[in-house]
Chains A and B, each alone.
Chain A
Amino acid sequence: MVNFLQNLIDAISLGSLYALIALGIALLFGIMQLVNFAHGELIMVGGYTFLLLEHQSWPVIVIGTIGSVVLLALLMERVAFRPVRNASPPTLFITSFAISYLIQNIMIIAIGATARAAQLPLTLSEPVSIGGLAVSRLDLVTIAGTLLILLLFALFLRKTRFGLQMRAAAEDFEMARLLGVRANRVIAGAFAISGVLAAVVALVVVEKTSILTPSMGQTYVLIGFVATVVGGLGSLPAAALGGFVVGFATVGLQAWLPLSLRSYRDAFVFGLVIVILLFRPQGLIVVRSEQAQRV
């Protein structure tokens, strides 16, 4: 039972992280059909900003990381994605890949390809004992933080004018523009928000692993794609759900697969992804409008 609860907390924590990544990817996909491979580089740059600021106080680290990642996200949008905005999805994807490749290698020129270790204050990784369970504080902070962000995000989308415009743009971009939604503002806004989400993921990832490499973003962004599609395209709660599903599948298989098969874990996770897609090609949550048919 204790074991089960332990795994459950691990699963929720990992699922929260994946949900945050999936949200950042789904947001841009919904509005401009962009599968943003460079989201991983936002996470990576966030991680290195964290490293740069590691001896500062917490608010400085958080604000600095978010600030730098949001700036980078806006820069990407302005320089690279705006000119190709109306191109086909494969072109958009390869553009995002080119950006990712570029940033990764600029980073390699600047600081080298070797891994860096962050020396972080240990307070967050110390376990807290809750009814016999040793729970790391980081897991608790991650879970609480994700819930808070999801809540704020939902409120933002439901209650603010900008959120409304963003939902309209995700539903039907052309129609939204005809009704006076400014394309440049909405898309730049979406990039900024996906930057905030990536920065939060970077903070959690660095705290969790404390290892940084210029290619660290790739793993996360790939999981993010998968989670987004499994959850269901075109709706943000669905993407978050997808993140949790992939997180639960990963932790669950790690815990329950027989030892001889454990090294095949990822094969099982992705096998499950295929099965889910075969039964629910639109993802677990199907959006009501016919927009979903298009993608």
Chain B
Amino acid sequence: MEAASPRRADAVRDAVGRARELLGTPLVLIVLLAVIVYGAPALSPALRPTVTTMLVNLVVVIGLFVFIGNSGVLSFGHISFMAIGAYTYALVTIPESSKSIFLPNLPGFLAHADVPNVPAALLAGAVAATFGFVIAIPLMRLSGIAASIATFSVLVIVQVVLSNWNSLTNGKTPIIGVPNTTTQWSAFAWAAVFLVIAYGFKESALGLRLRASREDDIAARGLGVSIYWERLSAMVVSAFFVGVAGALLAGFLGSFNPDAFYVDLTIVTLAMLVVGGMHTLTGAWVGAIAISALTEVLRRFTEGVSLGSLDVTAPSGTTQVGLGLVMLLALIFRPEGLVGGREIRPPRPRFPFGRPREGHAPAVVAPTKSTGDN
């Protein structure tokens, strides 16, 4: 009895430590996010669509982080996963009656499909992940800029195919009648789940191997990291996230065409990741929120605000110039991102089981050290 009790206490402490290690960061991010999602529309109901857009962008950026942040390979192709997710979601949720009018040539199983929202979003993610898997098989042999350009080629190919496959996508003509199912809270729920998974992925053995290959691929190979499989897995997970983001956007906009998913969105979301700090989930979060918020503030200025008795109105285009300027300044002054390479952590709780005994290193210490500065 005397010996067993402290041992059990140690085991509990280790488990608590490990849970804190794995859940602390995402929980803080989720709570802060909830404050924004609840607070912004409470301040002004007009902010509700802005918050939803921000959450969709956040889901994309979390997806980008899983692949780009961990592997260090810049992908320009992820928005094609979003397009695939959006079209998948649209085709299985638009009511059969409207599909029969403007998409008369759909194959039977799609023409009759009527899937509820959540399974449809999961399906969108799954189709995107499958596509991600298929393209990753050849592409993940590449690294560096060759991989970036190959993923960019995928973006162009998907764009061209979606714009021309009239029977399935209605070509360049917008697809219409997607049920408006995405609300701020449904988008928030997805973002919350993905924050937890993304952090778990980063902290997993696989994520650690991937980050090792990002820091030094030759050394990582020397330690037995295959790199290929790690990147492939990250690609599939991130494609799933981004595919779901496409479904969310489709359910938010109700109507869209392939041009919505091209170079502009690719670069805006990449900018969010890089400005926030691409090596941490916290950075991805901060980048997505900061740039979305800034866009909204600048947009309001452009529309005109009253400061006391003074009406300030900026000429059109000012939003974008301001955004570009702030991004540039952020990059010049913080080239590693706004978040300086550290994950946000909850304040350390008072430990209920006393201090760890001397000579007994809890299992959580090693991962803490290895993740401290990246």
Contact = CB atoms under 8 A, between A and B. Distances in A.
A282 B274 CA distance: 26
B332 A84 contact: yes
A281 B267 contact: no
Contact of B139 (A35, A99, A229, A274): A274
B320 A267 contact: no
B253 interface: no
A80 B274 contact: no
Nearest to A95: B331
Nearest to A292: B144
A267 B156 contact: yes
B117 to A, nearest CB: 32
Interface in B158-197: 160-161, 163-164
Given A267-B156, A267-B160, A277-B149, A94 B316 contact: no
B332 A101 contact: no
B332 A94 contact: no
B318 A80 contact: no
A258 interface: no
Contacts of B68: 90
B150 interface: yes
Interface in A51-109: 80, 83-84, 86-91, 93-95, 97-99, 101-102, 104-106, 108-109
B19 interface: no
A270 B157 contact: yes
Q: Taking chain A's interface residues, is the majority helix, strand, or loop, or is none over half, making it mixed?
A: helix
A265 B161 CA distance: 10
Interface residues of A, number: 48
B164 A263 contact: yes
A170 interface: no
A283 B324 CA distance: 33
A58 B17 CA distance: 74
A97 B150 CA distance: 19
B141 A105 contact: no
Nearest to B135: A274
B115 interface: no
B26 to A, nearest CB: 24
Contacts of A105: 317, 320-321, 324
B144 A295 contact: yes
Nearest to A229: B149
A158 B275 CA distance: 40
B156 A270 contact: yes
Contacts of A83: 332-333, 335
A282 B153 contact: no
B103 interface: no
Most buried by B among A84, A94, A283: A94
Given A87-B336, A278-B142, A109 B315 contact: yes
B157 A271 contact: yes
Interface in A270-291: 270-271, 273-274, 277-278, 281-283
Nearest to B320: A105
Interface string B99-123: 0000000000000000000000000
B271 interface: yes
A109 B317 contact: yes
Nearest to A265: B160
B223 interface: no
B152 interface: yes
A266 interface: yes
Interface in B316-362: 316-318, 320-321, 323-325, 327-328, 331-333, 335-336
B146 interface: yes
B153 A270 contact: yes
A76 B317 CA distance: 20
Contact of B328 (A102, A222, A283, A295): A102
A222 B76 CA distance: 11
Given A226-B152, A274-B139, A97 B271 contact: yes
A264 interface: yes
A106 B161 contact: no
B74 interface: yes
B316 A109 contact: yes
Contacts of A218: 263
B278 interface: yes
B335 A87 contact: yes
Contacts of B212: none
Given A80-B328, A87-B336, A229-B146, 16 more contacts: A90-B74, A94-B327, A97-B267, A102-B321, A102-B328, A105-B321, A109-B316, A113-B317, A222-B263, A233-B145, A263-B163, A264-B164, A271-B153, A278-B142, A278-B150, A295-B144
23 contacts: A37-B267, A86-B335, A89-B145, A91-B335, A94-B331, A95-B328, A95-B331, A97-B267, A101-B324, A102-B321, A102-B325, A105-B317, A106-B317, A108-B316, A108-B320, A109-B318, A113-B317, A263-B163, A266-B157, A267-B161, A278-B141, A281-B141, A282-B146
Which 3 residue pairs are nearest across A and B when measured between Cβ atoms?
A102-B324, A87-B335, A105-B320
